[in-house]
Amino acid sequence: MTEARLEIIDLTVRFGGVRAVDGLSLSHSQGGVLGLIGPNGAGKTTVLNVLSGAAPPTSGEARLNGRRITGLRADRIARAGVARTFQNLQTFHSLSVLHNVLVPLEARAAAKPVVGLFAPLLRGGQLRQRAADLLGRVGMADQLDTPVASLPYGARRRVEVARALAADPRLVMLDEPLAGLSRAESDDLARLIRSVADSGVTVLLVEHDMVAVMRISDRVAVLEQGQLLADGTPAEVQADERVRSAYLGDELDYDPLLHKGDKRAEAAARQRVATDPDAAADPGLAADPDVAADQEAAADRPPQTTDRRRREPRAQQ
Amino acid sequence: MTADTMRHEGRVRADRLRATARLLLPYAVFLAILLLVPAVFTRVPLYTMGNGVYMAILAIAALGLVPLTGFAGQISLGQAAFFGTGAYFSAILTVKSGLPATPAAILGMATAGAAAYLFGRYLFRVSGHYLALATLGLGLVLTIVASQLEITGGTAGVVGVPSLAPFGVELFDDVSYYYLVAAVLLVAVVVVDGLVRSWLGRSLTAVGDAPHAAASSGIDIAARKRLAFVVAAVLAAAAGSLYAHWAAYVDHHTMDLLLSLQLLIIATVGGIRTVWGPVVGAFVVVTLLQVSQELFPELSERVGGQAEIVLYGLALILVLLFLPKGLAGWASDVIQRLTRARAGADEGGAR
């Protein structure tokens, strides 16, 4: 599968007087995981809403593989290869686990004209098998017939991810998939996200768990007040002074970028800073040799931050 | 083939048999009840056979609310308008144009369906409770229009709607008419049950549960809501046609707002997420109607002959408070719990 080519061109979304997204331009065609971070209200979810057709842009556009997706109805965008999960967990609560994943499969099968209505009936067994396979991939194989409403939060998240994958997307957008999960659940889901990206599906990841974002992402884009503040490899972004100060304030004495919004990790990091001077330099990531090496390499280079507000002229008038 | 795989296949076959039985058993019970109604209603004091006919007609009209309101989450306060469309079409086309009853009824259903489709094209583009308000308006407007137009007979309505004679058997009394209405009800239940159990029902559920997630799963949510709205309109029109031939006259009260509310109450009290809901609900509502007229005739007179509205309201509140899934929803939960407990006991015994 060729990598999805996503282009966001001078996108602006205004809610009344507020510019939730303000002239954002961002292209991504190298696959993998694109992390989208930024403080609350930076416009991350709004970008996802525009890309999935849940909210209309005020101006600008987005293209997937050259095809304009802004302005299309949400289900058309889904058929064009964009799937998503939601920040506030949107499963089909009256349906079983299996049926939650069956819904997008059947919608796809029914999309063909004329015979479409009957396709989900004729291919029922095949679609069920595919749904069961996807649920196996997220570790839900033994709970296919469980009503989704009776599942714990973490399991519902996984069902939602399986449902997003069922649409056979080129681009999957995950809106804070790790929020509210236990450490073990979060690690499992992070591994799954990585494996999805490695299978050739581009992942756009909005997430507050910075340790996870930095570990999973191939590229990280930082939004602030609806504008692109910086983007680059995780190491580049972490090293960027502007990102640090804008995103977090620089008064903290441990690496704040890694632990913002994660109380447990913050506490752990403080602990480590107190007891182990090495960990203070790179809490959380020191255990991962690749990332640590990246970080060292990045420290030698000047930060390659793109500040599109200054560098790039607006693509459209 | 080893003994193990044979045993496994046997178990699979037994499971499948049990699943089929579970699907068909409610229908067997329903059919038995339908056939018992004439024997019971002609003998017990509270009911008449006319009540049986009226129950079945109301159940058919309320049935469309299962996919529309129960699954897709859209509230319609205009079902009476579609009911009236069917009733007026049957009445006018048979009385004034001399058309046979069947094509007249089919034309009424088609018109109601087409109207719902066109209405839905504009309504479902926006989300929210527009359908409830818009259909409320539609019902009120059509009631007034029907009472003013010449073709609908003004306030006098259309009288002398002929009785039906399917296959040359004239249905002149309530018992024989009941069998026709019960047969239509059975067919309607099967069709709607098939719809909501199919992938279309699943996608309607998805639309009702989480519209944004449904849309980004590739479902055209407006088209699904429209489909459910059309189904509800066609069923209401079919019920209206049956009503016209039974009552033998149609006037603007036939499509009164009270009927729309009554249908919603029927579906909700019975259980709006199962096809058995409208059936149970129609029984309850007609029973309340009978109770209010038989037991509280004085009260009924004092509040303008509509004591049943008080009882409807009470029933609705009680059900919503204590059995939010409705009577049939509650019953199916209880049955499920019992069978699961028994299955658990069986397994425990086998070990």
The 10s digit of each residue's pLDDT in A184-231 is 889 989 999 999 999 999 999 999 888 889 999 999 999 988 888 888
A96, closest residue in chain B (CA to CA) = B202
> Are the Cβ atoms of A121 and B203 closer than 8 angstroms?
no
| CB-CB neighbours of B136 under 10 Å | 17
Burial of A144 (0-12, 13-18, 19+ CB in 10 A): middle
Asked if residue A269 has pLDDT above 70, the reply is no
CB pairs under 8 A between A and B: 86
> What's the pLDDT score for residue A148?
93
> Are the Cβ atoms of B221 and A75 closer than 8 angstroms?
yes
Q: Which two tokens stand for residue B119?
A: 């209405």
pLDDT digits (tens, 9 = 90+) for A232-266: 998 888 888 888 776 655 433 445 455 444 555 55
> What's the pLDDT score for residue B337?
85
Measured in angstroms, the CA of B200 and the nearest CA of chain A are apart by 9
Chain B partners of A125 at a C-beta cutoff of 8 Å?
Answer: none
pLDDT digits (tens, 9 = 90+) for A98-147: 999 999 999 988 877 767 777 777 788 889 999 999 999 988 999 999 99
pLDDT digits (tens, 9 = 90+) for B229-250: 999 999 999 999 999 999 989 9
Query: Total structural domains in chain A?
Result: 1
Phi, psi of A55 (to 5 degrees): -140, 140
> Are the Cβ atoms of A92 and B273 closer than 8 angstroms?
no
CA distance B232 to A284: 58
CA distance A98 to A140: 9
Measured in angstroms, the CA of A90 and the nearest CA of chain B are apart by 6
> Are the Cβ atoms of A103 and B220 closer than 8 angstroms?
no
Q: Who among A77, A83, A92 is closest to B209 (CB)?
A: A92
Domain with B147 in it: 46-257
The interface predicted TM-score of the complex, written ipTM, equals 0.82
> What's the pLDDT score for residue A8?
92
CA distance A215 to A194: 9
> What's the pLDDT score for residue B303?
61
Q: How confident is the model at residue A311 (pLDDT cuts 50, 70, 90)?
A: very low
CA distance B82 to B241: 10
Q: Which two tokens stand for residue B135?
A: 């259909």
Query: Total structural domains in chain B?
Result: 1
CA distance B77 to B268: 13
Q: Which helix (H) or strand (E) holds B62?
A: helix B49-63
A113: alpha, beta or left? (left if phi > 0; alpha if psi -120 to 50): beta
Measured in angstroms, the CA of A151 and the nearest CA of chain B are apart by 16
DSSP state of A303: P
Question: Which residue type is seen at B37?
Answer: V
CATH number at residue A52: 3.40.50.300
Chain B partners of A92 at a C-beta cutoff of 8 Å?
Answer: 205-206, 209-210, 213-214
| CB-CB neighbours of A235 under 10 Å | 22
DSSP state of A105: H
| Whether the Cβ atoms of residue A215 and residue A292 lie closer than 8 Å to each other | no
Chain A partners of B213 at a C-beta cutoff of 8 Å?
Answer: 86, 90-92, 160, 163
Measured in angstroms, the CA of B15 and the nearest CA of chain A are apart by 15
> Are the Cβ atoms of B202 and A53 closer than 8 angstroms?
no
Dihedral of CA A117/A120/A121/A122: which sign? positive
Give the largest CA-CA distance in chain A: 68
Question: Which residue type is seen at A86?
Answer: F
Which residues of chain B register pLDDT less than 70? Answer: 1-2, 126-129, 297-306, 344-351
For residues A267, A269, A274, A276, the Cα torsion angle rounded to the nearest 10 degrees is 150
B73 shares contact with chain A (CB less than 8 Å): no
Dihedral of CA B111/B113/B114/B118: which sign? positive
Q: Which helix (H) or strand (E) holds A106?
A: helix A97-109
> Are the Cβ atoms of A73 and B215 closer than 8 angstroms?
yes
HSE (side-chain half, CA atoms, 13 Å) at B48: 9
CA A92 to chain centre: 21
Measured in angstroms, the CA of A292 and the nearest CA of chain B are apart by 38
A48, part of any domain: yes
Domain with A43 in it: 6-81+169-237
> What's the pLDDT score for residue B237?
96
| Whether the Cβ atoms of residue A234 and residue A254 lie closer than 8 Å to each other | no
Q: Which two tokens stand for residue A254?
A: 């441990």
A298, part of any domain: no
> Are the Cβ atoms of B220 and A73 closer than 8 angstroms?
yes
| Whether the Cβ atoms of residue B90 and residue B216 lie closer than 8 Å to each other | no
CA distance A276 to A288: 17
| Whether the Cβ atoms of residue B208 and residue B71 lie closer than 8 Å to each other | yes
Q: Among B184, B208, B198, which residue's Cα sits nearest to residue B106? A: B184
CA distance B351 to A74: 52
